[in-house]
Amino acid sequence: MYPDLYKGLNLRPEDLTAYDSPLISFEGKTVTPKGQIRLPIQTGSEVVEVNFIMVNAYSSYTAIVARLWIHALEAVSSTLHQKVKYPSRGQVEEIRGNQAMAKQCMVAAISRRSNAESSASENL
């Protein structure tokens, strides 16, 4: 979970529990988490408790869900189709991704990376 979502949920630093295992960012850098928090996530009619690791890093995403969430829902995901399907009350429910939002996230990430690289080269 990234800071914008954490603050948007009105969570406080003291709501975090310790989490001391470092993570590797998409850029290959080591990121030290600020802590973790367990929150209920509602997907359709299903509610699943999920541990979120809070990192103080920039991302165009608000949170990244892990396999444990997918397994808890007994879901099947397809990045190609931007869908997650899972059984619920004898039916198959579906979460659909948003292609336009995915493109905006990618553009924001590329733009931020380009700006960071430009600033770094100017400071040399």
Q: Is residue 124 in some structural domain?
A: no
Please give the tally of structural domains in the chain: 1
Of 66, 60, 64, 63, the closest CA to residue 104 belongs to 60
Would residue 14 count as lying in a domain? yes
Domain with 11, as residue range(s), is: 3-119
- The one-character DSSP state at 61 is S
Does residue 106 fall inside a structural domain? yes
Least confident interval from 41-45, 52-56, 102-106: 102-106
In a domain, 13, yes or no: yes
Within-domain flag for 115: yes
The answer to whether 86 and 46 are in contact (CB under 8 A) is: yes
The whole-model pTM stands at 0.63
CA atoms within 13 A on the CB side of 80: 1
**Per the domain annotation, does 101 fall within a domain?**
yes
Q: Which tens digit of pLDDT belongs to each residue from 41-50?
A: 877 777 888 8
